Structure 1
Amino acid sequence: MSLIWTQEQIIALAPDTSSALNAQVLAVRSLWLSLGYNEQAIWGECQGSGSNPYRTQIDLTELAFKCNCPSHKTPCKHAIGLFLLFADQKDAFTEKTLPQKISLDIPKDKPDTKKVVDTVAQAKRAQMRYNKVTAGMQDLELWLRDLVRQGLAVALGQPYSFWDTAAARLVDAQASGVARMLRQIASIPHSGIGWEERLLTQLGRVYLLISGFKRLETFPAEMQADIRTQIGWTQNQEELLTSSGVRDRWLILGQRITEEDKLRSQFNWLWGEQSQQPALILNFAYGSQPLDTTLIPGTSIDAELVFFESAYPLRSLIKIHHNPADPVDKMPGFGSIQHMMTAYAKALAQNPWIEQFPVALQAVMPVFNDGNCRAVRDADGYMLSTTGLSSQQTWQLLALSGGHAVGIFGEWNGDRFLPLSVYAENVFVTLEKL
C-alpha cells in the first residue's frame, strides 16, 4: 500500500520556489473543470488564461508528470497544484475512468527491437579496437613515466594543452574514459595547497589502470569489466536487461546534473531499503534533448534493478516498475562517519576507480564558518570537509538544520563531500533545486 503524501512532501517536488508558491494558488477546487483518479493516475483539467483548459496527469506508478501547458519545468505548477488538491480534497476527484482527451501518454523507455548481428564483423571490429587501445595505453605509459621522472613541479608550469593533447591521442585510440581522466587531472596543479598529493593520487589511479589493462586476462570477470569500463568500453544494455535483478523499495536520495560539450549527464542515486545497496542510474541528453524526469529525489519506487557488471556494482538500469511511488519517509545509510569510511575503504579495495561514492548519513550536523558550510560532523566528532555548495544552498542547509543533526545524502570523492539532499523534520529536501 502506498504511503500518504503530505503537503510538505508534495511541495518538495517543485523544481523551484516560484513553482511551489504558484502551485499552492492552483490547489483550489473551483479552478479545475474536471478531476479524477484511479490506482495508476491522477488527472484534471485546469482553467488557464486561454480558452482551452490545461490537461494535467500524474502517473502514480512511476511518479511521472505531464501537462500541455507551455511551461518547460517538470513538474509544472499545474501538476504540483493538482497533487496538492488531491492530498487535501481526495473526495473531489470523482471520475474513475481516464478520458481519451486527457490521456497524455507519459513516455516510458522501451527496449529497441533486436537487430541481426554479423558476429564475424563484430569480432573483427572488437579486435581492431583492442589493438588501438593497447597502442594508446602503451603510449600513455611512456608519457606518464616521463612526466613523473621530471618531477611533479614540471606539471605546475604546463598549459592545459599539455594534458589535452595527451587526452586527444587517447580519444583517437578509442580510450575515451582515460582521456576524460587526464582532462580532469589538468586542473589539479592549480587547485591550491595540497595539489601535489592530489595530483600524485590521480596519476597513480591512471597508472594502476594501465597496469591492470596489461594483465587484463589474469583478473576475475568483474574486475575485467571495471578496467574495460574505466578505459571506455560500454556494456550492452539490452543484454543486461535480460538478466535477473534486485527487487526492492528504492529510495531516490539525490540527483546531480553536469554538462560538458553540450552533453548533459544526470546522476540519479538510489538506495535499497531492504538490500541496503546503493545504485546509480545515469541518463544522458545532448543539446536541447530532455532529460528523464521520472526519478524525483524524495520519492521511492518499488522496482527491479539490474546492475552493470563490476566488482563493486553501482551503475544500474530499471528493469521493471512494480507498485506506485511513495515519498521517502526516512534517511537510510550510515550511523557514523567512521562506519562510512570503513565501507568506502572496502569499496575501493574492490574497485579502486570509484570516482563518486554515495554517502547517506543518518544524523550529522553541518559546521558553518564565515557564512559557508565547511564540514559535516557526527556525534563522535568525526568530520567530512564539504565542497560545491552555493551561498543559497548553504543558507538553505542552515535553515533546515537549525543547529541540530539532520540526515544528509551526498557524494564523497575521497577528499570532499558534496551534499545533495537533506532529511529534516520528516521532510526530504533536495539542495539541487535552489
Structure 2
Amino acid sequence: MTQQGVRWTADQVLALAPDAASREAAGRLATAGPWSEVGSTDGGTVWGVCRGGGSGPYRTVVDVADASGPACTCGCPSLRYPCKHALGLLLLWAGGDGAVPEGEPPAWAERWLTGRREDAEAAAGAETAETGAAETGAAGAGAAGAEAAGAEVVAGTAGDASGSVSRTRDPVAARRRAERRAERITAGATELEQRLADLLRGGLAEAEQTGYAWWEETAARMVDAQAPGLASRVRELGSTAPSGPDWPVRLLEECALLHLLDQGWLRRDRLPQDLAATVRTRVGLSATADGPAVRDQWLILAQYDSVDARLTTRRVWLYGTETGRTALLLSYGAAGRAPELTLPVGLSLDAELSTYPGGGRRRAALGKRFAPPAPVEIRPKGVTPSQALARYGRALRDDPWLESVPVTLEQVVPVPDGDSWQLADASGETALPLTPAFGNRAGLWRLVALSGGVPVQVFGECGHRGFTPLTAWPAGPGQAVSLN
C-alpha cells in the first residue's frame, strides 16, 4: 500500500483505524495544535510529541515503509492499534501542507527504529514457524480471536526512555487482545440489556423525563466497553425520545432492534457464520475484505457523502456488468477533508473487488484497477416497486438491522402523493413512497424534470423509511443523472 518516498492519503490512513471511534478521535488530532517536535523522513518514518491527558506528552513514531505493514509506537496507554495519536499524526503528515517537515529523527525515535531493525533481523530465520503459530492460534481462538490473529498488537514489552509501549507482530498476543475485547463487549452488552429492561419496566413515558444526558452516559459506557456500534445506536435512541409524533412507537422499535443486537452478540457462537459476522460488525468490530478478488466492468451507479463534525463518509455504489453484483465502497475523510476516492457516476471501471464478511456481502474493497473509468452504454437491470420491497424483506433475514438495500427501479414515474411523493410503476398499480428527506432536496425536481411524466429508470436505496433516489436515466438514450 505504500512505497518509499510516497505520501499517504487520508483515506489510506483511516483504513488502518480499528473502529469508527478511533477514526473520529484521530480526526481531532489531525491539526498542528496538539503536536510538537514533528518530522518525517523520505524513507517513510513520521514522529511527533502530542499533548495528552496523562502526566506528560506522548511520543509517537510511525514507520509506514515497513515491509510487513505500517508499525508504530506511542507512549499512551491505549489498547487500540494503531492508537488515535498514531492515526492523527499520519493524517497531519498526509495533508502535505508542510505541517510535518522532513528531517532527521530525534534520538528517542531512532532508538525505536533501531530496535525494530534488530528484531526483524533476529526473527528472519523464524518466519516459517511464526506463520504456523499464527494459523494454529487463529484456528483455536474462536470467532473473535480469529478475526484479529496476525494483526499488529501491544506486546507488553518495555519501550524507549519515554515510557512508550512497543507493538510487535505476535499472533498469540493478538488472540489474547481480541479475547479481552470480546469480554469487555460482553460485559457492556449485559449492562445495556439491564438498562433497557429498567427503561421498559418504568414505561417509555419516563424516557421523556430523563433527557439526553442519560442516553449519552449509557453510550459512554458502551465506548468504555469497546463497542462503538452499540454506542452509536444508543445515541440514536436518545435523539428519538422524544422527537415528533409517535415517538414512543419508534423508540420501542429501536429498543427492540438494539435488544436483538445485544442478544445476537451474547449468543454469537450459536449463529450461522455470516450472521455472526454481521453481528460482530454491527457492535463495532473491524473486519478485513476476505472475499476472493472479482474482476468486472463495474458501472459506477452513485456516489454521495454523509458529513458530521468529525468525519466525512463517502459511499460509492457499483454494479458488475458481467456478474450482476452490486457492491458498496466506503472511504473516509477527517477534519473536514473530503475522502480521496472519487469515481464519476455513469462511467465504468475495470477493476477487482474483494467483499467483506457479513450477511449479503455488499461492502467491498477496491483492488487493482486495470484502466481508468470509461463511458459505457450498459444500464443495471431493474425491478418493479413490489419486487424492490420483497428484496429488502429477504435482506433483513441476513441482517435484521439493515436500513436499506440498493435497488434499480425499471419504468417508474415520480408522482405527488398529498404532501409527499412516490415512484409508481408504468401501470400505476404499485408504488414506493420517497423518503421524507429526499422530498426536500433539489434532486427531486431534477428527477421530475428528467421524467416529464414519462417512465424512467432510477437507482437508489430502498428501506423501511421509503425509497431514496440517487441516480436516474432518461427513457431513451442518455447519460446517467446524479440526484444528490
TM-score, structure 2 normalization: 0.61
Q: What residue is the counterpart of 2:141 in the other structure?
A: none
| Contact 1:333–1:359 (CA under 8 A) maintained in structure 2 | no
Distance (Å, rounded) in 2 between the aligned partners of 1:293 and 1:281: 9
Pairs within 5 Å for 1:183-194:
183-194=235-246
Structure 1: which 5+ residue stretches go unaligned? 1-109
* TM superposition shift of 1:293: 4.0
Counterpart code for 1:341: L
| Contact 1:331–1:362 (CA under 8 A) maintained in structure 2 | no
After superposition, give the CA deviation of every residue in 1:307-332 in whole Å (9 maximum; x if it has no partner). Answer: 00112111101122234423353542
Name the CA shift for 1:347/1:391 in 2 (closer, same or farther; >3 Å). closer
* TM superposition shift of 1:185: 2.7
2:252 to 200, 211, 232: 200
Q: What residue is the counterpart of 2:33 in the other structure?
A: none
* TM superposition shift of 1:207: 0.9
Tell me, yes or no, if structure 1 residue 394 matches structure 2 residue 348.
Answer: no
1:409 to 453, 459, 465: 459
Q: What residue is the counterpart of 2:193 in the other structure?
A: 141
* TM superposition shift of 1:162: 2.4
Distance (Å, rounded) in 1 between the aligned partners of 2:443 and 2:182: 45
Pairs within 5 Å for 1:11-50:
none
* TM superposition shift of 1:369: 5.5
After superposition, give the CA deviation of every residue in 1:52-101 in whole Å (9 maximum; x if it has no partner). Answer: xxxxxxxxxxxxxxxxxxxxxxxxxxxxxxxxxxxxxxxxxxxxxxxxxx
| Contact 2:351–2:370 (CA under 8 A) maintained in structure 1 | yes
Q: What residue is the counterpart of 1:374 in the other structure?
A: 421
* TM superposition shift of 1:405: 1.4
Name the CA shift for 1:356/1:114 in 2 (closer, same or farther; >3 Å). farther
Name the CA shift for 1:114/1:313 in 2 (closer, same or farther; >3 Å). same
| Contact 1:133–1:175 (CA under 8 A) maintained in structure 2 | yes
| Contact 1:155–1:189 (CA under 8 A) maintained in structure 2 | yes
Q: What residue is the counterpart of 1:175 in the other structure?
A: 227
Name the CA shift for 1:166/1:299 in 2 (closer, same or farther; >3 Å). same
1:299 to 344, 347, 353: 347
Give SS of 1:270's match. strand
Pairs within 5 Å for 1:295-374:
295-368=343-416, 374=421
| Contact 2:207–2:242 (CA under 8 A) maintained in structure 1 | no
Name the CA shift for 1:135/1:256 in 2 (closer, same or farther; >3 Å). same
Distance (Å, rounded) in 2 between the aligned partners of 1:219 and 1:395: 45
Counterpart code for 1:392: A
Q: What residue is the counterpart of 2:68 in the other structure?
A: 114
Give SS of 1:412's match. strand
| Contact 1:357–1:413 (CA under 8 A) maintained in structure 2 | yes
| Contact 1:188–1:199 (CA under 8 A) maintained in structure 2 | yes
Q: What residue is the counterpart of 1:3 in the other structure?
A: none
* TM superposition shift of 1:305: 1.0
- RMSD over equivalenced CA pairs, Å: 2.3
Q: What residue is the counterpart of 2:120 in the other structure?
A: none
* TM superposition shift of 1:227: 0.6
| Contact 1:160–1:186 (CA under 8 A) maintained in structure 2 | yes
Q: What residue is the counterpart of 2:163 in the other structure?
A: none
Distance (Å, rounded) in 2 between the aligned partners of 1:217 and 1:327: 47
Identify which of structures 1 and 2 has the higher relative contact order when contacts are C-alpha pairs closer than 8 Å and 6+ apart. Answer: 1
Q: What residue is the counterpart of 1:155 in the other structure?
A: 207
Name the CA shift for 1:368/1:246 in 2 (closer, same or farther; >3 Å). same
Structure 2: which 5+ residue stretches go unaligned? 1-63, 70-167
Name the CA shift for 1:280/1:112 in 2 (closer, same or farther; >3 Å). farther
Name the CA shift for 1:221/1:111 in 2 (closer, same or farther; >3 Å). farther
After superposition, give the CA deviation of every residue in 1:377-409 in whole Å (9 maximum; x if it has no partner). Answer: 123522222122334222222211111111111
| Contact 2:392–2:463 (CA under 8 A) maintained in structure 1 | no
Q: What residue is the counterpart of 1:94 in the other structure?
A: none
Name the CA shift for 1:382/1:194 in 2 (closer, same or farther; >3 Å). farther
Name the CA shift for 1:222/1:369 in 2 (closer, same or farther; >3 Å). closer
Counterpart code for 2:457: G
Distance (Å, rounded) in 2 between the aligned partners of 1:384 and 1:196: 25
How many residues are treated as equivalent by the alignment?
318
Pairs within 5 Å for 1:61-80:
none
After superposition, give the CA deviation of every residue in 1:208-233 in whole Å (9 maximum; x if it has no partner). Answer: 11111111111222221111000000
Name the CA shift for 1:264/1:325 in 2 (closer, same or farther; >3 Å). same
Q: Which moved more, 1:298-307 or 1:287-296?
A: 287-296
